[in-house]
A and B are shown apart, each in its own frame.
Chain A
Amino acid sequence: MADDDLTRRETGPLDRPAGSEHEYESLLPRKGAVGRIFAPAAGFGVTLSSMFRPTVTEQYPFEKVPTKPRYHGRHQLNRYPDGLEKCIGCELCAWACPADAIYVEGADNTPEAQFSPGERYGRVYQINYLRCIFCGLCIEACPTRALTMTNDYELAGPTRRGMIYEKADLLAPMGEGMLAAPHPMVPGTEDLEYYRGEITGPVIEQVDWVAQWRPEDPTLDAARNRAEGAR
């Protein structure tokens, strides 16, 4: 009976041309009589055998297992060692994004507010994590390695709005001795020196500039130490 039902469902009598003479026949070898009798019990074999194997269940969130190093997690906007942002607001990440999850607006760097080397910086940077599929095409598109992915996978929230991460949420934390942007580029350098990785940390002129215009900046002391140490 059951066999008949199955047969009918799989072959789909409606699909068959009317008046066709060909009945469906499976290519699998048909089991013998004993095999057919024990077929229902054989399914429990899998269940029983796994009772004697090691447990793979992860006790998340009580135990957090490190991801593989190249795991595609939350994005990060990186900085140069002197604290300037790497993002130039070129929107190539937004262009590459297959899920339309990234929104960028560029703007001019001015002598008063230099956020990144060169003429242009990303004024607005948003990633919508309700849309992001973590494919990493944005990372490949980024011409300055400004955008990379971290291993942070804990992306959940109670509101839709909260799942749109702004530039402040995505910027990498200030590393040791970095000087918070905006501040001028290292004197005598162009954006090319930054791209080639020739800038290793803030210099004293940058620290002085920030001290003049933002004396309360918390990164000043560490940056001054580093700049003086480098001299």
Chain B
Amino acid sequence: MTSTTTGAAGTSGTVVPEVTFTIDDVEVSVPKGTLVIRAAEQLGIQIPRFCDHPLLKPAGACRQCLVEVAMPDREGNLRPMPKPQASCTLVATPGMVVHTQRTSAVADKAQHGVMELLLINHPLDCPTCDKGGECPLQNQAMSNGRATSRFVDAKRTFAKPLAISTQILLDRERCILCQRCTRFSNEIAGDQFIDLQQRGARQQIGRFDPAVLGFDGAGQATVFAGAEDDGTPYTRAGGMPPVDESPERPIGPAALDASGRPFSSYFSGNTVQICPVGALTGASYRFRSRPFDLASTPSIAEHDSNGSAIRVDHRRGVVMRRLAGEDPVVNEEWLTDKDRFAFTWQTAPDRLTAPLVRDRTDDGAPGELREASWAEALTVAAEGLAAARDGAGVGVLPGGRPTMEDAYAYAKLARVALGTNDVDHRARPHSAEEEAFLGHAVAGRGIDVTFADLERSAVLLVGFEPEDEGGVVFLRLRKGVLAGATRVFSVAPFATRGLRRVRGTLLPAAPGTEPEVLDAIGDAEDAELAAAAEALRGGVVLVGERMATVPGALSAALRLAERLGARLAWLPRRAGERGALEVGTLPTLLPGGRPVADGAARADLAAAWGVESLPSTPGRDLTAILTGAVSGGLAALVVGGVDPADLPDPDLALRALEQTFVVSLEVRASAVTERADVVLPVAPPAEKPGTFVTWEGRPRPFAQALTSTALPDHRVLHALAGRLGVDLGLGTLAAVHGDLDELGAWDGVRADAPDMAYSEPPTPGADQAVLASWHLLLDLGRCQDGEAFLAGTAPRPVARLSSELAARIGVDDGAPVTVSTDHGSITLPAVITPMPDAVVWLPVSSPGSTVRTTLRVDAGAVVTVAPGTTTDVEPTDGEQA
């Protein structure tokens, strides 16, 4: 149970004085500042409440928690308060005497009265309401309400439901104005997209939509019209009769989401979960099931390296929804919308269910894929791999999303069965410097910087956009900032919406110049950098994964951390990266951070694995593996969940896959499947148990939610190795854990720290710019497929550039701008942003902006910028915070 006092900054060591008072004739001592309702919880006394939430500030909005209170006056005589008091806003004081509904008729009557008032306008539509069955209003109306209603008049009604975004629906009749949702978006997420509007009986939650408010000339409010059978939002297609619809246009400049509404929030799903009535509901779960026919399994979200606790609710083998789990050390009770809503990819129609084998034509050329038995597929795969192993060699690409157990199987398979160190889980831009950095500072280091640390120390973000690349990190930073315990600095090209909301200080750096800025922090000549250094002393440096693309950046970050006495943490985007790193899926790293180059580490591992020796030559990284595959230096590839479009050079990847014998372990058919020789289907996270490791290094084990015949990667690899004549000993989860436990930690030498010199970035010409680019939280990722409601809430892709560059090339704010290389061009609406000159920013992989496949370059490259003629998406009028 979370019993957080408000604004607790985690100041350990200070002794909080205790307050002793009585509730229901029971004496209780609580820390000073504790609310009466929390103290009652400690005694096990349940006071009904709606607006009260342990992680939100007290509001006293619903008045349901009224209790009878008496306080001692100056002479010490007990004086009852004239009226019942809301226990959720009442701070316990010494000698206070509280009587709840259990012992006080006055409190009980007051609560019944409040409940009756709340129910006056609440519709009796519990049978159709999604909250029915798990509704605090329903429950507390039964426990603390009148059995029959005395209200005989017509209830207030509203047009319903309103779509606040494509994902969140609002049913204003049901709202009891507790303001949990608005307080969440104001206090926690900081992106207030809804608020109270109107007054009196018409008071309602909304986003100030002129049509809803009935302004002159604003047209009629549109209501959500349902969804089609496959879950896509309902559209009026197919020759059906037109329905009255007024175009919904945001008034004034506003950032739009992909559906054309004002961009709401990455955290909007939390408002649905904390709504104590059914006023806010999710469109994707609307009318899909009832709480009582759902089975719940606690699990861990697979979308980012935060390892958020979730609850998977499923019915008859189908996941219906996911809710935030409660874990005070990681995600508290919050979740990003991606973690919450993006689960349909696991059951997409292109899910692989049976092994596939590519037929060979008579002349040996590859033919078509056909279904095969496991025995056949494993034999064909093993024969191909054995031939390649004894020939040019095999490369192993596990991808960034395996569980720790699966990654370990890839690492062991490569070393033991395939005799190579050519294994690299990094399905993204990477560098040798990063490898050295990870081996030196991250792998096998255990938990150092934690989420809690982000709430109480100054934090420098280097190449890391907290909202888009780590939702929970953002929330924890914001919590720390609001409590006054954290300051945030960011080395980035421009101040993002997320950085502004953590009140961060931008240390502007054009792509490629980050090492220069990092080295200059503490420079006495620059007042801002000197102040940053002062604030960051003993703080935390968070380095994002995309710093791999900047030569010298990670070396500079290590130098900076040492100089400031700050702790360093590395934040990958994908859930599996840290776990894979720990179990040795890098070409120069063995499990536990043992360097391949170290003979003692190899001998230690060889003894544990029961083999004579391990390959001693450091392996090739992803790009070298792919290049080798194209040039004939490798004959086969074992590929896990890798999307070629994510790789630094998608074209090279596709050619490599075409020219080698490819064994693909995939959940869903992909570009790899099309080029694979053997496809072995594996289980998605909902259908297997496993462990994700957070960026902190915290293992997050999760159980299997659904009954399934699908096999996790480690079992498939165990079977595959068996056909190669090697017993990996990883046939069960327990066996994997036994193996890992036996290995233990490595206390020998570590990889050396990288010390890469800063290289001057290229100078762009007059109509050119340096490309800055990172992933948005909601984009074209494969793990968000099939969730149209969620995709509609993604921010609309735009190109950002400085006013100087815009003026030089003649592009107005909101006009289309084309960014091009020799390979292709991307046209997006321009948004003029305060940022270094000659820099243009694009999202890496959003609709209309696939940087790596279209432009075939990455952040830091020089691109040509010109006014665009057409644009796929409508221009915006700029952006407002």
Q: Mark A residues whose CB is within 8 Å of B.
A: 88-92, 94-95, 105-112, 118-120, 123, 143-144, 190, 209, 212-213
What is the bound-complex CA distance between A119 and B289, given in angstroms?
14
Contact in complex: A108, B234 (CB < 8 Å): yes
Q: Contacts A91-B290, A108-B227, A109-B226 known; list 9 others, CB within 8 Å.
A: A94-B290, A107-B229, A112-B238, A119-B226, A123-B229, A143-B127, A144-B127, A209-B241, A213-B240
Name 12 interchain pairs, CB-CB below 8 A, sorted by A. A88-B128, A90-B127, A90-B132, A95-B133, A108-B234, A108-B287, A110-B234, A111-B225, A112-B240, A118-B128, A120-B128, A190-B157
> Chain B residues with Cβ under 8 A from A106's Cβ?
128, 287-289
Place the interface of chain B in its size category. Answer: 20 to 34
Q: State which of B128, B238, B292 has its C-beta within 8 Å of the C-beta of A119.
A: B128
The 7 closest A-B pairs by CB, nearest first: A108-B226, A90-B127, A110-B226, A106-B287, A120-B128, A112-B240, A91-B290
What is the bound-complex CA distance between A91 and B294, given in angstroms?
12
Chain A residue nearest to B133 in the complex (CB): A95
> Chain B residues with Cβ under 8 A from A94's Cβ?
290, 293
Contact in complex: B225, A95 (CB < 8 Å): no
What is the bound-complex CA distance between A91 and B157, given in angstroms?
25
What is the bound-complex CA distance between A91 and B125, given in angstroms?
13
- A100 CB → nearest B CB, Å: 10
What is the bound-complex CA distance between A190 and B173, given in angstroms?
14
What is the bound-complex CA distance between A89 and B290, given in angstroms?
10
> Chain B residues with Cβ under 8 A from A118's Cβ?
125, 128
Contact in complex: A105, B288 (CB < 8 Å): yes
Given contacts A106-B288, A108-B226, A120-B287, contact A91 B293 (CB under 8 A): yes
What is the bound-complex CA distance between A202 and B771, given in angstroms?
64
Among A107, A119, A120, A123, the most chain B Cβ lie within 10 Å of the Cβ of: A119
What is the bound-complex CA distance between A199 and B558, given in angstroms?
76
Among B234, B287, B289, B293, the most chain A Cβ lie within 10 Å of the Cβ of: B287
What is the bound-complex CA distance between A105 and B289, given in angstroms?
6
Interface residue B881 (Cβ < 8 Å from any Cβ of A):
no
> Chain B residues with Cβ under 8 A from A92's Cβ?
127
> Chain A residues with Cβ under 8 A from B286's Cβ?
108
Q: Mark B residues whose CB is within 8 Å of A.
A: 125, 127-128, 132-133, 157, 161, 225-229, 234, 236, 238, 240-241, 243, 286-290, 292-293
Chain B residue nearest to A92 in the complex (CB): B127
> Chain A residues with Cβ under 8 A from B127's Cβ?
88, 90, 92, 143-144
What is the bound-complex CA distance between A94 and B228, given in angstroms?
24
What is the bound-complex CA distance between A88 and B161, given in angstroms?
17
What is the bound-complex CA distance between A144 and B126, given in angstroms?
12
Given contacts A92-B127, A118-B128, A143-B127, contact A110 B225 (CB under 8 A): yes
> Chain A residues with Cβ under 8 A from B287's Cβ?
89, 106-108, 119-120
Given contacts A108-B226, A110-B226, contact A95 B290 (CB under 8 A): yes
Chain B residue nearest to A89 in the complex (CB): B287
What is the bound-complex CA distance between A89 and B289, given in angstroms?
9
> Chain B residues with Cβ under 8 A from A212's Cβ?
241
What is the bound-complex CA distance between A226 and B774, given in angstroms?
65
> Chain A residues with Cβ under 8 A from B241's Cβ?
111-112, 209, 212-213
Chain B residue nearest to A119 in the complex (CB): B128
> Chain A residues with Cβ under 8 A from B290's Cβ?
90-91, 94-95
Among A94, A106, A107, A108, the most chain B Cβ lie within 10 Å of the Cβ of: A108
- B289 CB → nearest A CB, Å: 7
> Chain A residues with Cβ under 8 A from B128's Cβ?
88-90, 106, 118-120
> Chain A residues with Cβ under 8 A from B227's Cβ?
108, 110
What is the bound-complex CA distance between A117 and B133, given in angstroms?
22
What is the bound-complex CA distance between A95 and B132, given in angstroms?
12
Chain B residue nearest to A112 in the complex (CB): B240
> Chain A residues with Cβ under 8 A from B132's Cβ?
90
Chain B residue nearest to A123 in the complex (CB): B229
Chain B residue nearest to A118 in the complex (CB): B128
Chain A residue nearest to B292 in the complex (CB): A95
- B251 CB → nearest A CB, Å: 27
> Chain B residues with Cβ under 8 A from A190's Cβ?
157
Chain B residue nearest to A122 in the complex (CB): B287
What is the bound-complex CA distance between A209 and B238, given in angstroms?
16
Chain A residue nearest to B229 in the complex (CB): A107
> Chain A residues with Cβ under 8 A from B292's Cβ?
91, 95
What is the bound-complex CA distance between A111 and B127, given in angstroms?
21
- B158 CB → nearest A CB, Å: 12
Chain A residue nearest to B155 in the complex (CB): A192
- A17 CB → nearest B CB, Å: 46
What is the bound-complex CA distance between A5 and B691, given in angstroms?
68
What is the bound-complex CA distance between A88 and B287, given in angstroms?
10
- A189 CB → nearest B CB, Å: 13
What is the bound-complex CA distance between A110 and B236, given in angstroms?
10
- B130 CB → nearest A CB, Å: 9
What is the bound-complex CA distance between A138 and B256, given in angstroms?
47
What is the bound-complex CA distance between A209 and B243, given in angstroms?
13
What is the bound-complex CA distance between A90 and B133, given in angstroms?
11
> Chain A residues with Cβ under 8 A from B125's Cβ?
118
Chain B residue nearest to A111 in the complex (CB): B243
